[in-house]
Amino acid sequence: MKLTRKKILIACNDPGGTMACIPVIKRLIKDRKLSVSIFAGKYAQELFKKENIVFKTLPLYRIDKNDLKYIGSILEKEKPDLVFTSTSFGKVIDNAFSYVAIVKKIKTFALIDQWCNYSQRFRIYSKNKDLRYLPDYIGIMDDTAKKEMIAEGFPVKRLIVTGQPYFDSLVREREISSSQQGKFFRDKYGIGKKDIIVVFAAEPFRSGDYEKIGYTDIKIVKQLSKSLQLISRKTQKHITLIIKIHPRDERNDSVFPICSNESFKVILARQGKSTQFILNADIVTGMSSIFLIESFLLGKPTLSIQIGLKTKDSLITNRINLTKAIHSFNELNRTLTNIILKKKLSKYIGSNLQIINKDGKSTDRVISFIKRMIN
């Protein structure tokens, strides 16, 4: 007698959440005992294409409450045993599928990729102040995330510490990087072989964020550019600043400051994997992006620049004292000078990997838990 395969419906949208899910998705697709149906939102589509993952799309980008019936009709047609999603921000595909599945009492499992904005991920279609509309289980990175989520009111029984599947591959990527790849990267962007490469991870700030947070990526990158130009003149070193624009950022290039001269060059980059830029950088900078966590784990000098910060620091490595945020221009200038002149480098390089499961088995844990849910 032919066994009926268990069916999993997967939905992803935002880049960070999608990257966390991809190692899991690849494994689920290969399992012949499972039937996997994948729905991709706007930002997940390009990532899935690069990984040769077959997916479906919806004729909707923003999925408002009156569109949720359409999502419900898909679930009724697909009849999944489990809905597995990333977590994103806004009325997008993964949040929509998760919410409707919760309402319909279909088994749900969501994976969180970052140590921030926990509650906001589940308040898209309902204020959900009592966190009533939650997936059956939520895969989280570590005990720090667990403590923070419990403090926000999440029921402990729903939180499963799995690790972050995307991080499983980071150390391996560092091991296979080569000097030949470094030369290719410099040639691709027209960077001299002796130039110091500084990468800045931009983030798509919204209107009103400056008043609330105290800075925007544009204001921070202007301070960074000013400092690097001063250091370039003082040390006679050529410096290239690469502004890595977030995949979700739809702002025009003209909003970013370009002030290149003979010894200081600025490049805007929209395409390419984050690790490609991190591994070829001499210094990685940003504010609170997961890009900085990747850089820290890959052993690069990593600076979280948060000049003007008014709110709680959302970068996990700062919160647990593995890294320290820079809060003034003078501190930024002093720190960059130290790194460029190779003084006290160890202060800025990640050596303690306690924020991830070091065994590289985060994907295994997620897969194992999903199978327990459907069997």
CATH code, domain with 247: 3.40.50.2000
At 357 the pLDDT is 47
- State how far the alpha carbon of 6 is from the alpha carbons of 31, 37, 80, 219, 369, in Å: 10, 11, 8, 50, 14
Residues 22 and 158 in one domain: yes
At 7 the pLDDT is 97
Residues 103 and 203 in one domain: no
At 321 the pLDDT is 79
Residues 286 and 242 in one domain: yes
Q: Is 338 within the bounds of a domain? A: yes
* Mean pLDDT computed over every residue of the chain: 89
**Residue 326 DSSP one-character state:** B
At 177 the pLDDT is 65
- Tell me which residue has tokens 């070829």: 280
Residues 259 and 332 in one domain: yes
Q: Is 353 within the bounds of a domain? A: no
Residues 90 and 219 in one domain: no
Residues 11 and 151 in one domain: yes
- Domain extent for 83: 6-164+358-374
Residues 320 and 245 in one domain: yes
Q: Is 287 within the bounds of a domain? A: yes
Distance of alpha carbon 23 from alpha carbon 366, whole angstroms: 10
Q: Is 152 within the bounds of a domain? A: yes
> By the 8 A CB rule, do 83 and 76 touch?
no
Residues 115 and 207 in one domain: no
Residues 78 and 123 in one domain: yes
Sign of CA dihedral 344, 350, 354, 355: positive
Q: Is 289 within the bounds of a domain? A: yes
> By the 8 A CB rule, do 345 and 301 touch?
yes
Residues 261 and 213 in one domain: yes
The number of folded domains in the chain is 2
Q: Which amino acid is at 139?
A: G
At 366 the pLDDT is 97
**pTM of structure:** 0.84
Measured at the CA of 241, the angle between CA 236 and CA 245, to 5 degrees, comes to 175
Residues 111 and 204 in one domain: no
Q: Is 21 within the bounds of a domain? A: yes
Q: Is 1 within the bounds of a domain? A: no
Two tokens, residue 12: 């992803």
Residues 364 and 285 in one domain: no
Which residues of the chain are under the pLDDT cut of 50?
1, 357
